[in-house]
Amino acid sequence: MMNPNNQDGRRQIVGVFETEQATISAIEELKSIGYTSDQISVVSRSKDEMHTIQEETGTKAPEGMAAGAATGGVLGGLTGLLASIGVLAIPGIGPLLAAGPIAATITGAAVGAGAGGLVGGLVGLGIPREEAERYNDYVKDNKLLVMVDALPGQRSHVYEVFRRYGTLNADTYVSLDGEPRNDLVREASTHDLHTADPASRIR
């Protein structure tokens, strides 16, 4: 049983999913093995969800993050699964859904980054710029990012869950100063997991 309060040796694993249902299923399984809402985040492009939020809360994207739960799509599916859910207008992408602990963090980072948009927000979280640009491209292509704070002994479990639900790749980042989400460097990476034998490519 892992200790969710133990930050020692923590890694951030980032996966990319093609569908909302795969994302929800992966998160549900991660929570079933002990992960909490404070350890899982999701980022995705979210036109439909933004429309729902505008209708139900009256909050407009340019004003920042829309608070409160809404129904439909991945936003409705993630309500109750993750800590906080909101929508931010990102230049070049449009409405962006951020769920989990990343929601407030990426909002401030992205706003501070100005034209940097999502790339600036991810860089602000400590993700290297080259990797942030790659994730930005995934999101622009309507893919969903799932970020998990994992202890070393749990990494293989996260990779297996990601593989089971069809992640396109999984990158592991480790902080140099021992604090998660600061000065992160990519420690390990698996790409194109649908080619060859996916299970053999995950460590």
Residue pair 100/83 in contact (Cβ under 8 Å)? The answer is yes
Contacts of 195 (CB under 8 A, 6+ apart): none
- Tell me the pLDDT tens digit for each residue of 37-73: 778 888 887 655 444 434 543 433 333 344 333 333 4
- Chain-centroid distance of CA 2 in Å reads 21
The closest of 85, 90, 89, 78 to 117, measured between CA atoms, is 90
**Residue 192 tokens, joined:** 């194109």
130 vs 57, residue with greater confidence: 130
**Residue 126 tokens, joined:** 């400590």
The closest of 36, 35, 27, 40 to 154, measured between CA atoms, is 35
11 vs 73, residue with greater confidence: 11
Measured distance CA(123)–CA(162) in Å, rounded: 23
Given 3-state DSSP classes, what are the helix, strand and coil percentages for the chain, each rounded to the nearest 5? 45, 25, 35
Most confident option among 16-30, 64-78, 79-93, 173-187: 16-30
Phi, psi values for residue 113, rounded to 5°: -80, -15
Residue pair 86/65 in contact (Cβ under 8 Å)? The answer is yes
10 Å Cβ neighbour count for 41? 27
**What is the average per-residue pLDDT within 107-133?**
67
Secondary element (H or E) of residue 73: helix 73-78
Secondary element (H or E) of residue 123: helix 117-124
Residue pair 184/177 in contact (Cβ under 8 Å)? The answer is no
**Residue 171 tokens, joined:** 């990158």
166: left (phi over 0), alpha (psi -120 to 50) or beta: left
Measured distance CA(170)–CA(188) in Å, rounded: 8
- Tell me the pLDDT tens digit for each residue of 61-110: 333 344 333 333 444 555 555 545 555 656 566 677 777 767 666 666 55
Residue pair 37/82 in contact (Cβ under 8 Å)? The answer is yes
